[in-house]
Structure 1
Amino acid sequence: MSVPTISDEQWAGLLATRAGDPGAVGKAYAGRRRPGRILSDRGTLFLVAADHPARGALASGGDPMAMADRRSLLARLVAALGHPEVDGVLGTPDVVEELLLLGALEDKVVIGSMNRGGLDGATWTMDDRFTGYDAATIAECGLEGGKMLLRIDDADGGTAETLEGCARAVSELAARGLVAMVEPLPYRRETDGSLRMLKDVASLSRAVAIASGLGTTSAYTWLKMPSCDDPDAVFATTTLPCVVLGGVPHPDPAEDLASWGRALTQPAVRGLVVGRALLYPPDGEVHAAVDAAATVLRAAGERG
């Protein structure tokens, strides 16, 4: 097993910069070489997601603290971003800035994560307040867009405030010509108090329709959706460009790949945004996991 690592020299340098030269972050944003595009030459988008820790979601697979080791997380991200078919990253300011300081984001698409306030396991978890990037800062930092989580529960009043916040963010990003990546996920709270994501066609299609209409324009809106049993019906609900999210990793990575592959055949679907399934594969081989996902995305593009 070949688990990615960051050298002692790199790690010590990062820590020293964090403590002694906070202005280096601003310089790194300003000096980043931007990709000048969202879609790759193949017309696809492949991002690695790294915004889970800011919501307190640290588990992956059977390890409840997998993403708590920041050095390991960054090493895995740097390895994934080194794959030639990975277009970029989706992350919160802390992670994006660390990757910038490590020199891992040159010519990469960077989508800033905006609302992480619905902490994993909290009583208010469905209240996905904006606690990360805002549209003005995304523009100032030279990022390519912003991502927002929109969990929809008809029985939870917090959903209404999240809808309003997401609509505002969509409008503010669009006014600056920046991508607004909305992740609409339908949920229901069970009688035992647990939350269950709904993956039936009616619930997912409804969520797509709601997210598509947010803000003063949909010109720059993308949707980030889970794979499902009937992607033909769900992705027929919109003309907006969509990406497939990785979600909670399946114990068998082949199941994830097959599920993503089915969704990627849809005309509206342009790519993948996957985090834990690629960063923490069961065998620890990050490059192999990324390569397998890239192969599925490439094959879907060739079929299209």
Structure 2
Amino acid sequence: MPISISDLATVRARHPEAIAEAAARRTRRPLLGASGRLMVVAADHPGRGALGVGDDRLAMANRADLLERLCVALSRPGVDGVLATADILEDLLLLGALENKVVMGSMNRGGLAGARFELDDRFTGHRAEDMARLRFDAGKLLLRIDYEDEGSLATMLSTARAIDDMAARRLPVFVEPFISRRVGTVVRNDLSAEAVTRSIAIASGLAGTSAYTWLKLPVTDDPDDMASVLETSTLPTVLLGGEVGRDQDAAYERWRKALRLPTVHGLIVGRSLLYPAEGGVETAVDTAVGLL
């Protein structure tokens, strides 16, 4: 039976097997429903030490608050699923919030925000065998490439092998590629049309098969470039929401335009929906769903 958030610590301490039991009885659904569209809420940022939203550097640090926001988002019509690390997904399993939802495990969280080794992004999260064992539906990995950082090569190699492992189990894997560079101690992602085009080409060519590979892509600096950028690959794509800043309406319009393109099947959005600059979680999620 589902439990309350206040009971999670007790259940974890006394009945850790409850997680596997909840995973075994969870009702699953296809990745894509009848509409062919996909709306997923992302909450894997804490696993990389990225807890900030806007000016609040620890906004996502309160786990009970984050879980409440996720449960609200998952309850809204049109929300298909959630992307998160093992600890968060297992909390949601125990809360009974993942019934008939797409469950997407976050795979590489070793590139800690601000670390010297950030671009050697090790696979410290879900493995393909974990997702198969827990009956999860897909995985997601982050691939940031800095041509001047050797850590990117290690990430590329481990990414390719992770895609192979997922494909061997017929599990979709969503690859989030960027061309990146360091500005001082901060890694910045290049969202120019040329950089995003190059990242798509590199990500699409990884591993021994691309049969189960999806792309998770940002909207370029100039949204008018997205049509030509997405001609780089035939792989199915979802848009990365990212932080929208203060001008939510402008961000939503960028997403709306890109969602019309033929290879784009949906959105994966996190902090901007769970911690909106204006209004509540319900309003932000409903607005994003309306774009689909």
State the 1:107 CA deviation. Answer: 0.5
CA contact (8 A) 1:60 1:249 kept: no
Q: Which amino acid aligns with 2:232?
A: T
Cα deviation, 1:208-232, whole Å, max 9, x if unaligned, reads: 0110011111111000000112111
Indicate the SS of the match to 2:4: helix
2:187 to 173, 184, 195: 195
Residue in 1 that maps onto 2:238: 243
- Does 2:61 match 1:56? no
Q: Which amino acid aligns with 2:22?
A: A
Indicate the SS of the match to 2:242: coil
1:251-270 aligned at under 5 Å gives the runs: 251-270=246-265
1:29 to 23, 33, 49: 23
- Does 2:267 match 1:272? yes
- Does 2:136 match 1:143? yes
Residue in 1 that maps onto 2:203: 211
> For the residues of structure 2 that align with 1:194 and 1:140, how far apart are their CA atoms?
37
> For the residues of structure 2 that align with 1:278 and 1:43, how far apart are their CA atoms?
22
Residue in 2 that maps onto 1:133: 126
Cα deviation, 1:223-244, whole Å, max 9, x if unaligned, reads: 0000112111211111100000
1:286 to 274, 281, 289: 281
> For the residues of structure 2 that align with 1:173 and 1:101, how far apart are their CA atoms?
25
State the 1:40 CA deviation. Answer: 2.0
> For the residues of structure 1 that align with 2:31 and 2:271, how far apart are their CA atoms?
22
2:9 to 15, 22, 31: 15
Name the count of aligned residue pairs: 287
State the 1:248 CA deviation. Answer: 2.4
CA contact (8 A) 2:114 2:187 kept: no
Q: Which amino acid aligns with 2:47?
A: A
Cα deviation, 1:149-182, whole Å, max 9, x if unaligned, reads: 0001100000111001110011110111100110
> For the residues of structure 1 that align with 2:102 and 2:124, how far apart are their CA atoms?
21
What TM-score comes out, normalization by structure 2 length? 0.96
Cα deviation, 1:43-71, whole Å, max 9, x if unaligned, reads: 10110001000000000122111100000
> For the residues of structure 2 that align with 1:248 and 1:127, how far apart are their CA atoms?
24
Indicate the SS of the match to 1:256: helix
1:231 to 210, 226, 230: 226
> For the residues of structure 2 that align with 1:220 and 1:128, how far apart are their CA atoms?
21
Residue in 2 that maps onto 1:302: none
State the 1:195 CA deviation. Answer: 2.3
Residue in 1 that maps onto 2:35: 42
Taking a change above 3 Å as real, the CA distance of residues 127 and 284 of structure 1, as seen in their structure-2 partners, is farther
Give the share of equivalent positions with the same residue, in percent. Answer: 50
> For the residues of structure 2 that align with 1:249 and 1:71, how far apart are their CA atoms?
24
State the 1:249 CA deviation. Answer: 2.8
CA contact (8 A) 1:61 1:249 kept: no
> For the residues of structure 2 that align with 1:112 and 1:11, how far apart are their CA atoms?
21
Cα deviation, 1:114-161, whole Å, max 9, x if unaligned, reads: 000000111111111000000111111101111110001100000111
CA contact (8 A) 2:112 2:118 kept: yes
State the 1:25 CA deviation. Answer: 0.7
> For the residues of structure 1 that align with 2:85 and 2:100, how far apart are their CA atoms?
18
Consecutive unaligned residues in structure 1, runs of 5 or more: 1-8, 298-304
State the 1:283 CA deviation. Answer: 2.8
Aligned Cα RMSD in Å?
1.1
CA contact (8 A) 1:67 1:73 kept: yes
Indicate the SS of the match to 2:39: strand
> For the residues of structure 2 that align with 1:182 and 1:195, how far apart are their CA atoms?
18
Consecutive unaligned residues in structure 2, runs of 5 or more: none
> For the residues of structure 2 that align with 1:12 and 1:127, how far apart are their CA atoms?
37
